[in-house]
Structure 1
Amino acid sequence: MTLTAAPSGRGTMIRAQRTARYIAGEAIVLIASLVVASMAIFGFLAILPGDQAAVLGGVDATPEQIEALRQQMGLNRPIWEQYLDWFGGVLTGDLGTSALDGRSVAAELGEKLQVTVPLGILALILSIVIAVPVGVIAAIYRDSAFGRVITGLSQLCAAIPTFVLGLALVLLVALPTRLFPVQGFPADRWADPMEALRSLILPATAIAIGQSAVLVRFVRSVTIDILLKDWVRTGLAQGWPLRAVLVRHGARNAALPLLGIIGLEIAGILMGSVIVEQIFALPGVGGMLLSDVGNRDITSIQSTLFVLTALVMITTVVLTTLSRVLDPRVRSAS
């Protein structure tokens, strides 16, 4: 018994070491990517035309006053020094202060994320709930007219802009039924969770329709691949219903690839959130970002963009890594 158990234990240790190295490598790549992203965001905003000091000073400001503002804001320093000062603050949790009103960017962003993050999570859940059954049905009936209609409708929904879906939900659902608020969000945020959730259902649905259309094609492709496996045909030959085979065995094989692709959907959901927040007048990050762009509040813009970029990148890496680590086929091959 000892001779047979030793190789198994050693193999488990080797796989654990390889998995740890893989995770460490992904973490290093993520950190490097975040640094590059911070440089790209800062550099792009730095080369944009216009002068933040002139905007802050107003049309009546004299050149001397504008120059004094530039010195006060540190805009006359070398670009690399400005970047290190900003990014060093980001690493310590200090996202800077608004040059317009002196507000803390971190405090305001934290308040806005209380709306945007739940909106994105709800949209993701709805998109999965819609995409999985529709994609499976489209795969099962892929050779019939019904299956082709489902595939065509998913492609149509993917092509419709998010703001059109949002406006359609307002006109077709919110106004006639009065079940959901047309615009706005509770002033006390999540003090009344049900009321806050009602305010997010239609915006999340608008995002989920487009994102689920993209996921449907992926689920359909994965399900078709599963249906062609030998073990599926064996199960059917033994008298198992197709639904039982897919639920008991197919779901496990499709879940891990789906987990990886969901990470890529996060960016689309986040961009959709920015759009629908304007349609439904939600006090989220989208409205904050657009207001900062209009006021040319560079500090707030670059900190907000970096936080959003970091959220997308971290979530994507975590889900992709989790999918790889949990997949026994990948573990055995690594």
Structure 2
Amino acid sequence: GYFVEILSLDSPDALYIKDCPVKVHAAGPGTGSYGYSRKFIVWLLKHHQEYDVFVVNGIWQYHSFAARNVLNKVNRNYYIFTHGMLDPWFKHQYRLKHLKKLLYWRWGEYPVLRDAKRVFFTSEDEKILSRQTFSLYHCRETVVNYGTSGHQGNASDQRQLFLEHFPHLKNKPYLLYLSRIHPKKGVDLLIEAFAKSVNADSDLQLVIAGPDQTDWKVELDKIAEKYGISHKITWPGMLKGDIKWGAYLNAEAFVLPSHQENFGIVVAEALSCSLPVLISNKVNIWQEIIRDNAGLASDDNLAGTIDLLRRWQQLDASRQNQIRENARNCFLQRFEITRASANLLNIFEKDLAAIKN
């Protein structure tokens, strides 16, 4: 069998550490946004012999730099997930921040990737895009399955729970956006595209669910008011648990016109609920979605988002139902967590066997 433990830069007093179902060794709190903590290195030097495999999650913070330094010193291999953090979108969108990263790259983060046994990417698109951010770039690239457990619970009860909280949506079709309310996600495009592609007399509604971390909703409300569709938009805030699943299960389709999305757990969750996904071609799993006929994809601009919504509405009922069936199959074949886990374990076992031989 296998066991998994986490070494993190969190404070050991954090409540979420106590609630985590996996054993966590909290070596923080780290200092500042970078998260420096000497305790992290001390712990890893002391305990590394207790583990067979080391997986670093994410870059640009102290944990990846420290893990590379310690594990190289003791001659241990490690793997790393970049989780989309090398996407060139950030380079073009946040130029000053990229300049800061450029100064750190050569001596800080680049050696972390260069020395890793493998750098894991969750799609071919992510792998290819990651090569475009820095001119100095070399690593052992491996595309792996990535996923989630998907829908859990009683679907009928979850549908009812959602409609109890939002009774005005009962018997009304709606498109669901469920993610952070953030400019990167293209919510402004979605609202304007909805206004320009949905007939005024249509019953179709738009549900925009998620936390507003940048106070952007005020501006988005003005866009909705400008086009006279405020009455067609529901803002439930952040949804969790059964009510979240109810939002998926009652929806007609899921929409995410994001400008940058490495994987999109919410896309996989939607698929697990047999929900067609209407996404931009900046969501890095869009090609898999199209290949499995589990949804539609288009450019991450206004014209592309309008096209996305219009094409969905123009499909007849039988075609939409076929896509719903394909959506669930796409999830089971590509993004269900046990398949993703088996894929990773197979890689680890082969690499460990090669070392022993």
- TM-score of the two chains, using structure 1 as the length reference: 0.24
Which of structures 1 and 2 has the larger relative contact order (alpha carbons within 8 angstroms, sep 6+)?
1
Higher Cα Rg, which structure: 1
* Structure having the larger proportion of residues in helix: 1
* Structure having the larger proportion of residues in strand: 2
